[in-house]
């Protein structure tokens, strides 16, 4: 090994960890992944698969605070907070609301755009090498509205997108019908962002990248990371539930489960789960050609390899509470309103449901940068709603930080130190 080559352990085999490990390997390092389960079976498993360069809009926007009473009131709304979890959530929620000032959201959107705009271009060489290029479709992303007024209500979000170079085409009711004949006539306005794409099977994509990583000599250590062995501020190894793995550098990419690992290294990161659900219909009567987002319902219907996936909504209830499967079932009612040719109910064998944990920080921008205790440990977590889309560039940047190379995007906004 040359002097700059390191033994690097990547903690977590979700989209972020696998992308990071792939780029580290290409930079010539000796790389292993620490993962107790199988690659791609965490949050990267069941998401909506959107690879949207346009997803620059933070979750907390000016005026968000006005919505909190409604979130506490409607258990089937697009965003809910479980009352019992409110005391534990309060500090995060306060930071979340405070991060929604006009200046802050503008800076957050700019930072996100740097990770998101090159998403597909950054992923492409990895997919090509893994023989998985067929999994990414570039047909755009369609946002639909029931009225011009509801579109106007979202104008702050569209302004942020425009300011960051996102372009789109608008469609009236008739044009929308031609674009997507199966769409309900209740929708009268459509916005198509053509630069966006989607993954036809996120689980298979992460797996294909992980397999290619192993084919190139990478190893997956089936263990759980529990901490770090340091000598002063230099990393000696990753402690696991089954012994210590020697490493010169490490990347923490364990999604929502990264919090205790960062705490051990002196960073108290306000990382919270934004739980989301999906419902999949096998052999659906109709499938949209383009992933379609019901802007008001806050869910996306994505055509996938194994059926139609309806995914979205946010539930703030912590890591431990059991899933509320009614929140997944309700997506069926919502999608029927979007595509009336779909049924309102299906036999159980044609449906699957899933719940996942979005790893979310209050300001909606991921945590990418060195740990407080050791420059040898780099964080790459906290990707919230956009980890699939921002994963490729995060992986590239995290690998650059490990190598001591100039990062492809300015990492200052992602600093773990911003939380104090």
Ligand X SMILES: Cc1cc2nc3c(=O)[nH]c(=O)nc-3n(C[C@H](O)[C@H](O)[C@H](O)COP(=O)(O)OP(=O)(O)OC[C@H]3O[C@@H](n4cnc5c(N)ncnc54)[C@H](O)[C@@H]3O)c2cc1C
Q: Where on the chain is the footprint of ligand X (CB under 6 A)?
A: 11-17, 34-37, 41-44, 47-50, 224-225, 253-255, 257, 276-278, 311-312, 356, 358-359, 381, 383-389
Q: In what order do the strands lie in the sheet with 197-199?
A: 50-51, 197-199, 136-137
Least Å from the CB of residue 312 to ligand X: 6
Distance separating alpha carbons of residues 115 and 112, to the nearest angstrom: 5
Q: Provide the minimum distance between the beta carbon of 411 and ligand X in the complex, in angstroms, as a whole number.
A: 17
> Strand runs (DSSP E) across 79-132, as ranges?
79-81
Residue 285 or 326: which CB sits closer to ligand X?
326
Rounded to whole angstroms, how far apart are CA atoms 54 and 293?
13
Task: Select 65 or 230, whichever has its Cβ closest to ligand X.
Answer: 230
CA-closest candidate to residue 302, choices 314, 320, 284 = 284
State the nearest-atom distance from the C-beta of 178 to ligand X, in Å. Answer: 26
CB of 188 or CB of 213, closer to ligand X: 213
Q: Which is nearer to ligand X, 49 or 190 (CB)?
A: 49
Report d(CA 167, CA 141) in Å as an integer. Answer: 12
Least gap, CB of 319 to ligand X (angstroms): 11
- H/E element, 94: helix 86-98
CB 206 → ligand X: shortest distance, Å?
Answer: 7
301 - beta bridge partners? 292, 310
Question: Which of 188, 324 has the CB closer to ligand X?
Answer: 324
Looking at the Cβ atoms of 136 and 389, the one nearer to ligand X is: 389
Q: What is the rounded CA–CA span in Å between residue 301 and residue 371? A: 38
Q: For residue 271, give the nearest of 371, 394, 367 by alpha carbon.
A: 367
CB closer to ligand X out of 158 and 379: 379
Find the shortest distance in angstroms from Cβ 409 to ligand X: 16
**CA distance between the termini of the chain:** 38
Least separation in angstroms between residue 3's CB and ligand X is 29
Strands 234-240 and 292-294: unpaired
Measure the CA–CA gap between 407 and 415, rounded to whole angstroms.
13
């Amino acid at each position: 090994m040359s002097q700059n080559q390191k033994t690097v352990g990547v903690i977590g085999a979700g989209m972020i960890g696998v992308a990071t490990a792939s780029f580290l390997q290409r930079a010539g390092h000796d790389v292993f992944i620490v993962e107790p389960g199988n690659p791609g079976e965490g949050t990267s498993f069941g998401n909506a698969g959107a690879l949207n360069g346009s997803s620059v809009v933070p979750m907390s926007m000016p005026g968000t605070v006005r919505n909190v009473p409604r979130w506490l009131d409607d258990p089937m709304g697009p965003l809910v907070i479980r009352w019992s979890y409110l005391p534990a959530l309060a500090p995060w929620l306060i930071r979340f609301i405070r991060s929604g000032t006009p200046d802050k959201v503008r800076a957050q959107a700019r930072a996100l755009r740097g990770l998101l705009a090159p998403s597909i271009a950054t992923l492409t060489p990895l997919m090509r090498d893994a023989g998985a290029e067929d999994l990414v479709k570039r047909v755009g992303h369609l946002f639909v509205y029931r009225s011009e007024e509801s579109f106007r209500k979202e104008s702050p979000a569209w302004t942020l997108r425009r300011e960051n170079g996102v372009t789109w085409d608008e469609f009236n009711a008739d044009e929308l019908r031609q674009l997507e004949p199966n769409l309900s006539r209740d929708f009268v306005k459509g916005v198509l962002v053509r630069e966006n794409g989607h993954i036809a099977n996120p689980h298979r994509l992460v797996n294909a990248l992980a397999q290619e990583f192993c084919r190139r000599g990478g190893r997956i250590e089936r263990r759980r990371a529990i901490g770090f062995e340091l000598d002063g501020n230099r990393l000696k190894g990753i402690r696991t539930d089954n012994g210590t793995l020697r490493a010169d550098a490490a990347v923490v990419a364990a999604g929502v489960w990264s919090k205790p690992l960062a705490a051990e290294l002196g960073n108290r990161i306000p990382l919270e789960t934004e739980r989301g659900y999906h419902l999949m219909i096998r052999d659906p009567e109709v499938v949209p050609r383009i992933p379609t987002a019901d802007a008001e319902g806050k869910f996306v219907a994505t055509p996938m390899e194994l059926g139609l996936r309806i995914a979205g909504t946010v539930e703030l209830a912590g890591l431990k509470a059991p899933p509320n499967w009614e929140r997944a079932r309700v997506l069926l009612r919502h999608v029927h309103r979007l595509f009336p040719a779909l049924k309102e109910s299906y036999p159980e064998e044609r449906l699957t449901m899933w719940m996942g944990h979005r790893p979310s920080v209050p300001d909606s921008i991921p945590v990418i940068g060195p740990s407080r205790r050791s420059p040898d440990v780099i964080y790459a977590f906290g990707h919230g709603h956009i980890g699939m889309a921002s994963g490729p560039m995060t992986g590239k940047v995290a690998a650059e930080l490990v190598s001591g190379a100039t990062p492809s995007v300015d990492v200052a906004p992602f600093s773990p130190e911003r939380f104090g």
